[in-house]
Amino acid sequence: MKNLRASRAVLGLSLAIITILMLVLAFGCSTTPPATPTATAIPSPVPTATPTPPRNVVLIGWDAAERSQVKESLSQGKLPNLQKLSSEGTMVAIDMLRTTDTASGWTQILTGYEPEVTGVFANDRTNSIPKGFTVFERLEQYFGPQNFVTVAVISKKGNMESDPGKPYYYTKDSMDVFINGLEEDDNVVSKTLELLGQYKDKPFFFFVHFAAVDNAGHQYAEGSQQYKDAFISYDTHTGMIVQKLKELNLYDRTLVYVTADHGFDVGQKNHHDAPYVFLATNDPLVMRRGLREDIAPTILDRFGLDLSKINPPLDGHPLTKPYQLPLW
């Protein structure tokens, strides 16, 4: 009996020792250390590609093109060239908070500043834009006059003058070509096509100004058949410029912007309170509506200029970036 008990004790002890050895082998002698909790890895942000700057920009001015009439003409299929251009980019509303006339309008568009900076408040209250403040001059300085071409071909003489004390007195001296007073839009487009051919081998910025709608509005009133027909003329001439760019193999490297300095008072022969216009473009980066002074920063930004280094700071903001107007 004693021998049986002893045998059972030995067997029990052996089983216990075997169990302990198995546990040691399973856990205590593992060569892999226990996992240590770690924070979840955060993926690095994917770098945003820098937009490729255009080789050229053409800014086409549809003087006095009231936004509502542009919409109506587009809906009727009367502006096929503007429609095609915007289908490659976009069309947005442009509003204005200041005087709705030619001198102040184009000055804001071509500088990005309010009149307190430029001194151009209205047709009857103008000064010369300070040296270096226009898109033309900033681009000449940025690229170097020998590397870049700036051209203005303008229908009007009045309110777009380059005489002493007038808006473009200083500006013209820094440009390759400044022509105003061509009057008929046929003359404007003819000279523009000639100059595009002449300067095709260098990067350029062209400002092309048409005035048929403004002339028709003052003579026959907004909404008249003559006023409406003038929009068709604007569109035809714009199409001729785009076609020339294509013939010169420049269009794929050129951004085209079409806008207006002011609209027209409904049914009237004036534009005392006409703040609603537009911007149509083949630029796919334009993302929001804006103000008249936002157009210059948009062009400068697309050419690659660092707007934060411009002094005095621009009043406008690029239409290619989000921006919310301050409440105060």
Least trusted range by pLDDT, from 220-224, 301-305, 307-311, 323-327: 323-327
Least trusted range by pLDDT, from 21-30, 63-72, 204-213, 309-318: 21-30
Q: Which of 201, 191, 228 is nearest to 75 (CA)?
A: 228
More confident residue, 246 or 23: 246
* Tokens found for residue 222: 């907004």
Q: What is the mean pLDDT of residues 248-276?
A: 97
Q: What is the mean pLDDT of residues 143-151?
A: 97
Q: What is the pLDDT of residues 201-217, one digit of tens each?
A: 999 999 999 999 999 99
pLDDT > 70: what percent of the chain? 85
Q: Per-residue confidence at 36, pLDDT binned at 50, 70, 90? A: very low
More confident residue, 82 or 26: 82
Provide the pLDDT for residue 231. Answer: 98
Q: Report the Cα 213 to chain-centroid distance in Å.
A: 24
Q: What is the pLDDT of residues 82-101, one digit of tens each?
A: 999 999 999 999 999 999 99
- Output the average pLDDT for the chain: 88
Provide the pLDDT for residue 7. Answer: 43
Token look-up 């260098």 returns 202
Provide the pLDDT for residue 324. Answer: 87
pLDDT > 90: what percent of the chain? 82
Q: Domain limits of the chain?
A: 67-309
CATH of domain 67-309: 3.40.720.10
Provide the pLDDT for residue 29. Answer: 39
More confident residue, 38 or 261: 261
Is 299 within 8 Å of 314 (Cβ atoms)?
A: no
HEC readout, 166-219: CCCCCHHHHCCEEECCCCCHHHHHHHHHHHHHHCCCCCEEEEEEECHHHHHHHH
Q: What is the rounded CA–CA span in Å between residue 253 and residue 246?
A: 10
Provide the pLDDT for residue 325. Answer: 81
Longest CA pairwise span in the chain (Å): 134
Provide the pLDDT for residue 97. Answer: 93
More confident residue, 25 or 261: 261
Q: What is the mean pLDDT of residues 131-159?
A: 97
HEC readout, the chain: CHHHHHHHHHHHHHHHHHHHHHHHHHHHCCCCCCCCCCCCCCCCCCCCCCCCCCCEEEEEEECCCCHHHHHHHHHCCCCHHHHHHHHCCEEEEEECCCCCCHHHHHHHHHHCCCHHHHCCCECCECCCCCCCCCHHHHHHHHHCCCCCEEEEEECCCCCCCCCCCCCCCCHHHHCCEEECCCCCHHHHHHHHHHHHHHCCCCCEEEEEEECHHHHHHHHHCCCCHHHHHHHHHHHHHHHHHHHHHHHCCCHHHEEEEEECCCCCCCCCCCCCCCCEEEEEECCCCCCCCEEHHHHHHHHHHHCCCCHHHCCCCCCCCCCCCCCCCCCC
Residue 310 identity (one-letter amino acid): I
Sign for the CA dihedral angle at 227, 295, 198, 159 comes to positive
The pLDDT of residue 9 is above 50: no
pTM score of the predicted model: 0.85
